Amino acid sequence: MWTDEDRDKAIWHAKYKAERCSGCGTHPDEWNPNKGGDRQAYGAVEERCAGCAALEQHQEALSSRAKEDRVRGVRVVLRPRAEIERRVAAERAKSANPVERRLA
């Protein structure tokens, strides 16, 4: 059971999170000196993420496909390498088994 104080804190927290910028993730108060923030609270820097690079590279490859070969609703996601290898092996085994191919 929640106390009134706990409920108020939860409501405040949800409201605070909802006010965060969806682009950069900061809250307006973090930039506002009148609310304890600082106009120089953050600085923009470049960071490279290998996962984002892999996603971007694959998305570019999909985009370069001929228009008739493109499929709508496809999105590129990261999966652990072991999972990808299991899926590939399962597909190979399925295509190698003529009985399974007829049942599919």
pLDDT tens digits along 31-58: 999 999 999 999 999 999 999 999 999 9
pLDDT band at 70 (very low <50, low <70, confident <90, very high): confident
**What is the model's pLDDT at position 98?**
66
Residues in the chain: 104
Show the tokens assigned to 102: 């007829």
* Pair 18, 10: CB distance under 8 Å: no
pTM higher than the cut 0.85: no
Q: Which residue has the tokens 């399962």?
A: 90
| DSSP code of residue 67 | G
